[in-house]
């Protein structure tokens, strides 16, 4: 395995967050205002929008939106309600038939793909009616790395936001990869417990014996140890090529990865919605969505270079099974933590030196919660 410097930043003196952070409705709402309405949220892959359907309804933070390519091909996001009497416009059943325009199913007000109101039956009789001020309401949307990102109140562009890991997006050619498989989970745990769990391998020898054989838990280091994007590499054991049940490649090594990148798996958390796991031969993403204080939905997608998937050697099953097993092991301990932390008598304990990234996640979370709550 690779020689990595041991995790440099100690978690010494740091304690976990209090139970109310995973149970309180007030804190949940405060997170909406301070974090989820201001950060870039991953809304899916570009390929999910195009070409199979002309527009795509999505739910983000319990808000209904739809994605569409405008007349010049640019991806845009609109709130999914009509400016007449609020009918939802785009649904799973009508999205593929919207064609060149968005027509409301209720009274047929019709919008262009850029969101302009182009037709409103009988409204011409009203001299006071101003169609220009009744276009669809747009939400900020950008594409980076083949992902569609939404931000309700952006303070910077998504490329500025993701700059700390931009080189990784380039090295793994993430824009060009394609989804080959998807796993979806309902997890009975607060979103932060899922982030915290992904941020440490203190639990790996106990919870993930198979993972620990492929990447022994002491072989991790941190590239990013402060801020909203955290993580770094874990060295593969000599006998492992990648993360899969048999330790063998699922596809071909990706592009121009250097020797270190070919012998490591890089794990990053992008707060508050995404994990990025970069393997020598594939990229795994976890998209985490808050449902309520004690429930989350996790969508896990496997991305491979399109030419790899056409080769006879392509064998993703062992990788998919490996991560399905590992995910379920993780969700189980996250759910146990949710239940234990929900006890009113719960008092946080100290972090171990192997939990420095969890402590960094907490610091960033608490900073954002307090700095930007707007109250
Ligand atoms: S609610 Fe959409 S046209 Fe009336
Ligand atoms: Fe784990």
What's the pLDDT tens digit per position in 169-205? 999 999 999 999 999 999 999 999 999 999 999 999 9
Do 110 and 235 lie in one domain? The reply is: no
Do 246 and 354 lie in one domain? The reply is: yes
Neighbouring C-beta atoms of residue 243, cutoff 10 Å: 25
Nearest atom of ligand 1 to the alpha carbon of 87: 1
Do 312 and 216 lie in one domain? The reply is: yes
211 occurs within a structural domain = yes
- For the chain, what's the residue count? 375
Q: Ligand 1 centre from 142 Cα, in Å?
A: 28
Do 179 and 255 lie in one domain? The reply is: yes
6 occurs within a structural domain = no
CA-proximal residue: ligand 1, atom 1 (nearest): 85
Where does a domain end: 112, 142, 172? 142
Do 204 and 182 lie in one domain? The reply is: yes
Do 129 and 209 lie in one domain? The reply is: no
Interval 93-119 mean pLDDT: 92
Q: Which DSSP string corresponds to 222-272?
A: -SB-SSSEEEEEEEPPTT-SSSSTTS--SSPPPTT--HHHHTEEEEEEETT
Do 33 and 56 lie in one domain? The reply is: no
Check which CATH number belongs to the domain holding 217 and give it: 3.90.380.10
Do 242 and 363 lie in one domain? The reply is: yes
Q: What is the pLDDT of residue 9?
A: 46
Contact 50/295 with Cβ under 8 angstroms?
A: no
Residue 76 has pLDDT above 50, yes or no: yes
Residues 6+ away with beta carbon under 8 Å from 83: 109, 117, 134, 135, 136, 137
Question: Which ligand sits nearest to residue 83's alpha carbon?
Answer: 1
Range of the domain at 74: 48-142
183 occurs within a structural domain = yes
217 occurs within a structural domain = yes
Query: How would you classify the pairing of strands 117-119 and 41-45?
Result: unpaired
CA-only gyration radius of the chain, Å: 22
- Residue 28: strand, helix, or coil: helix
- pTM comes to 0.93
Do 64 and 28 lie in one domain? The reply is: no
Q: pLDDT tens across 247-265, in order? A: 999 999 998 899 999 999 9
148 occurs within a structural domain = no
Q: Determine the residue of 98, 106, 111, 117 to mutate for testing ligand 1's pocket, defined as the one with the most ligand atoms within 8 A of the Cβ atom.
A: 106
For the chain, the domain total comes to 2
Interval 132-156 mean pLDDT: 97
364 occurs within a structural domain = yes
170 occurs within a structural domain = yes
Do 114 and 79 lie in one domain? The reply is: yes
Query: Rounded distance, CA 88 to CA 91, Å?
Result: 8
Check which CATH number belongs to the domain holding 67 and give it: 2.102.10.10
Residues 6+ away with beta carbon under 8 Å from 299: 182, 183, 184, 185, 286, 287, 289
- The angle subtended at Cα 331 by Cα 21 and Cα 280, nearest 5°, is 115
Residue 2 has pLDDT above 70, yes or no: no
Question: Which ligand sits nearest to residue 134's alpha carbon?
Answer: 1
Do 207 and 262 lie in one domain? The reply is: yes
CA-proximal residue: ligand 1, atom 3 (nearest): 107
85 occurs within a structural domain = yes
Residues within 6 Å of ligand 1 by CB? 82, 84-85, 87, 104, 106-109
Nearest atom of ligand 1 to the alpha carbon of 105: 2
Residue 373 has pLDDT above 70, yes or no: no
Do 32 and 54 lie in one domain? The reply is: no
Query: Rounded distance, CA 75 to CA 148, Å?
Result: 8
């Amino acid at each position: 395995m690779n020689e990595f410097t041991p995790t440099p930043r100690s978690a010494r003196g740091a304690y976990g967050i209090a139970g109310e952070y995973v149970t309180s409705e007030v804190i949940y709402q405060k997170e909406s205002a301070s974090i989820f309405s201001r950060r870039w949220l991953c809304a899916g892959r570009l390929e999910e929008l195009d070409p199979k359907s002309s527009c795509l309804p999505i739910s983000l933070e319990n808000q209904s939106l739809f994605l569409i390519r405008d007349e010049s091909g640019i991806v845009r996001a609109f709130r999914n309600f009509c400016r007449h009497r609020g009918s939802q416009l785009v649904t799973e059943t009508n999205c593929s038939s919207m064609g060149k325009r968005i027509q409301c199913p209720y009274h047929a007000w019709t919008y262009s793909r850029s969101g302009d109101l182009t037709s409103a039956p009988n409204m011409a009789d009203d001299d006071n009616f101003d169609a220009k001020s009744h276009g669809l309401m747009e939400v900020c949307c950008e594409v980076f790395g083949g992902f569609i990102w939404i931000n309700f109140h952006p303070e910077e562009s998504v490329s500025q936001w993701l700059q700390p890991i931009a080189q990784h997006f380039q090295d793994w050619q993430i824009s060009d990869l394609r989804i080959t498989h998807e796993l979806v989970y309902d997890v009975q745990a607060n979103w932060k417990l899922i982030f915290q769990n992904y941020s440490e391998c203190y639990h790996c020898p106990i919870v993930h014996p198979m993972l620990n054989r492929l990447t022994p838990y002491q072989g991790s280091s941190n590239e990013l140890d402060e801020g909203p994007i955290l993580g770094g590499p874990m060295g593969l054991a000599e006998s492992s090529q990648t993360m899969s049940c048999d330790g063998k490649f699922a596809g071909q090594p990706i592009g121009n990865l250097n020797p270190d990148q070919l012998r490591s798996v890089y794990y990053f958390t992008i707060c508050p919605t995404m994990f990025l796991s970069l393997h020598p031969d594939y990229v795994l993403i976890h998209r985490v969505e808050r449902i309520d204080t004690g429930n989350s939905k996790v969508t896990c997608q496997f991305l491979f270079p399109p030419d790899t998937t056409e080769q006879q050697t392509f064998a993703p099953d062992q990788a998919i099974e490996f991560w399905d097993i590992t995910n379920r092991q993780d969700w189980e301990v996250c759910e146990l933590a949710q239940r234990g932390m929900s006890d009113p008598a719960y008092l946080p304990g100290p972090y171990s030196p192997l939990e420095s990234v969890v402590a960094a996640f907490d610091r960033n979370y608490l900073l954002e919660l307090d700095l930007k709550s707007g109250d």
